[in-house]
Amino acid sequence: MSARATFATARRVLWQIRRDPRTVALLIGVPSGMMFLLKLVLEDREATFQFIGIPLLGLFPLISMFLVTSITMLRERSTGTLERLMTMPISKLDVLAGYGLAFGLLAVLQGAVVSAVGFGLLGLDANHPILVVIGLAVANALLGMSLGLSLSALARTEFQAVQFMPAIIFPQLLLCGLLVERSQMSPVLEAISNVLPMTYAYDALDRVATSPELGSEVTTDVVVVIGVTLVALALGALTLRRRTL
């Protein structure tokens, strides 16, 4: 690995995103807009706003980074730039770490803006430092990014890549505990939710929103999120082939 190639890749990905101001505006603006909407919808139900608002705020980056990464990576494969990189003195880890750095930075920005709106303007209150929420949001962003990276290998077209979002993300949103507590689900659904990474991402945010103490469960959640991220990155690395048919 070389730090130079990693940083160059991160810088290049950020350049690409910067060239597309509308995407930047959507990435940064949509989560805040959703928080406003949630506040309006739950006008008289302040308690509900509190315990849905914080997890949602922390899950946004997972969803948006999943989408942006899978499309960026798909383009990298389909335009031949990945093949070109594979003939150059750059390691696959540099490519992956560069992506992680770029999207991680973007997630910090996204998390900071939506936190400023949620906690500053809309009266969310977390019992715990807001930095904890932003930290979880960034970890979730990296989880979304690594899932997007590895799954992009299965997509041939951008249409397919976009459809992975409902296919991969929506079931996890339904099962993670946000809508219905997992203990109230059928044992089968609960068992399925136990192996879905978003369950752990949600659980950590839920505890930050509602528990006075951050116990060892949050640590477990974070370890799972980071673990799945690393496994997905490793799978992603396997899909970056130097030689193809």
Shortest Å distance, C-beta 78 to other proteins: 10
In the range 17-46, which residues lie near other proteins by CB under 8 A?
19-20
Number of residues lying near other proteins (CB under 8 A): 26
Shortest Å distance, C-beta 4 to other proteins: 6
Nearer to other proteins, 2 or 163 (CB): 2
Cα 164 to Cα 115: distance, rounded to the nearest angstrom = 27
Q: Is 245 in the site for other proteins (CB under 8 A)?
A: yes
Residue entry with tokens 């659980």: 203
Binding residue (CB under 8 A) for other proteins from 73, 90, 201, 228: 90
Q: What are the angstrom distances between the C-alpha of 16 and each of 62, 80, 109, 175?
A: 20, 16, 16, 34
Q: Is 157 in the site for other proteins (CB under 8 A)?
A: no
CA neighbor of 64 nearest in space, from 107, 98, 14: 107
| Cα of 165 vs its chain's centroid, Å | 12
> Is the CB of residue 144 less than 8 Å from the CB of residue 62?
yes
Shortest Å distance, C-beta 87 to other proteins: 5
Compose the 48-87 pattern: x for residues touching other proteins by CB under 8 A, - for all others. Answer: -------------------------------xxx-xxxxx
Q: Is 102 in the site for other proteins (CB under 8 A)?
A: no
Tokens describing residue 54: 């914080």
Cα 26 to Cα 148: distance, rounded to the nearest angstrom = 18
Structural Rg of the chain based on CA atoms:
18
Using CB under 8 A, list all residues that contact other proteins: 4-5, 7-9, 11-12, 15-16, 19-20, 79-81, 83-90, 242-245
